Amino acid sequence: MTDKIKFDVYKQERLQKCSMCDRVKQLTYKITIYDNASTDNIIMSELQCCKVCGDNLYEILNPGSNRNPNEFVKKTFVFSNK
């Protein structure tokens, strides 16, 4: 099911009405929902939502996941005080 839902992060946040909470906030995520029965990538719906709603929806769809869709760690550095 989650392979039919795609989370995209806007490069620049926009001030609009959130599709989920109906508040005017900075929109962070664009969520695209594809048709589950179709073999083609037919878009059923698109949601534009704020950071809080997007993080909550991601946590509901991926339970137990500690990662947010907007956090990517490329490399971790360890500095010592020697």
Residue 21 lies in a domain: yes
pLDDT over 70 percentage in the chain = 74
Within a domain: residue 66? no
The answer on pLDDT for 77 being more than 70 is no
- 57 versus 82: which is more confidently predicted? 57
Return d(Cα 36, Cα 43) in angstroms, integer: 10
Asked if residue 76 is part of any domain, the answer here is no
Instruction: Name the band, by pLDDT with cuts 50, 70 and 90, for residue 33.
Output: confident
CA pair distance 21, 68, nearest whole angstrom: 19
Structural domain of 36: 2-61
How many domains does the structure of the chain reveal?
1
What's the confidence (pLDDT) of residue 7? 87
Inside any domain, residue 52: yes
Q: Answer yes or no: is 18 within a domain.
A: yes
Q: What is the pLDDT of residue 70?
A: 55
- Does residue 68 belong to any structural domain of this protein? no
Q: Is 19 contained in some domain?
A: yes
The answer to whether the predicted template modeling score (pTM) of the entire model surpasses 0.75 is no
